[in-house]
Amino acid sequence: MTLFVLVPVLDESPNIPRLVANLARLADSLRGEMECRALFVDDGSTDGTADRIRQEAGSLAVEVLRHDVNLGPGRAFATGFRHLAPRLADADWVATMEGDNTSRVETLLQMLVRRREGFEVVLASPYMYGGGLSHTSLLRLFLSHVANGLIKELLGIHGILTMSSFFRLYSAPVLKRLQARYGDAVLETPGFECMVELLAKLIEVDATISEVAMPLDGSQRLGKSKMKIVRTIRGYLRTFRLGRKWRRQ
């Protein structure tokens, strides 16, 4: 059994040493239960992120894919999922994480417990009791809550607290169902809205979904967030327009 950890990165060189060290700690925690392999998709970094990953890897099994120019997190995840598709056995799992150290290994270990309860997808949620957001601007908090509420109503998604977080765990069979239904169009949106798209499509293939509480601490990030607010809002509006097409497919 293998856990593939898929991480899109863009100019995250300062965050790489701690990130790789945390993934190595995760691999040690899982030794004897499952193998842990990290797949980074460098989305056009110009600060040597890919080289820094290779330098820091040590004993951690690491693979780096690279886009020559920045295409957006949706395209980075699409590249990663496409690369993993032929490599996944039915017993395998894929975790997706932030590249800026705001995704905690301890939370992922809790998410892995949920897989034993029969869930195919586990989301990390700062909005559950026991979670929370700290060291995050009031504007981003406001936009996050508004976006979550609008998305739930416009896409008809209910019973899920967190819509857009990168931090998730997927079983190989549910990813294969997505591939069978949507082919190379598993992810069509290029920006941060891609996680909303993926969640909507998971619901369409009848995935069983659970959530665990996640404390999200922005102080763990070195450098600025890569999210552009206006661009992300436009992406969500595009997601609403595409929603009907996904349900018809």
Q: Are 5 and 95 in contact (CB under 8 A)?
A: yes
Residue 34 pLDDT level (bands cut at 50, 70, 90) = very high
The contacts found for 133-137 with CB under 8 angstroms, 24 or more apart, are 133/216, 133/218, 134/215, 134/216, 134/217, 134/218, 134/219, 135/217, 135/218, 135/219, 136/216, 136/218
Q: Are 83 and 39 in contact (CB under 8 A)?
A: yes
* 206, pLDDT greater than 60: yes
Q: pLDDT tens across 101-131, in order?
A: 888 889 999 999 999 899 999 999 877 666 5
* 151, pLDDT greater than 80: no
Least confident of 8-17, 77-86, 92-101, 184-193: 184-193
User: Residues 43-67: what's their mean pLDDT?
Assistant: 95
Residue 142 pLDDT level (bands cut at 50, 70, 90) = low
* Integer Cα distance of 145 and 188 in angstroms: 24
How high is the pLDDT of residue 194? 85
How high is the pLDDT of residue 161? 72
* 132, pLDDT greater than 60: no
How high is the pLDDT of residue 88? 96
The larger pLDDT score, comparing residue 75 to residue 219, is at 75
* 11, pLDDT greater than 80: yes
* Integer Cα distance of 90 and 174 in angstroms: 9
Q: pLDDT tens across 59-76, in order?
A: 999 999 999 999 999 999
Mean pLDDT over all residues of the chain? 83
The larger pLDDT score, comparing residue 145 to residue 82, is at 82
User: Residues 148-164: what's their mean pLDDT?
Assistant: 68
Measured CA distances, 18 to 57, 170, 174, 235 (Å): 11, 24, 31, 31
End-to-end Cα separation, the chain, in angstroms: 32
The larger pLDDT score, comparing residue 94 to residue 146, is at 94
How high is the pLDDT of residue 242? 65
* 18, pLDDT greater than 90: yes
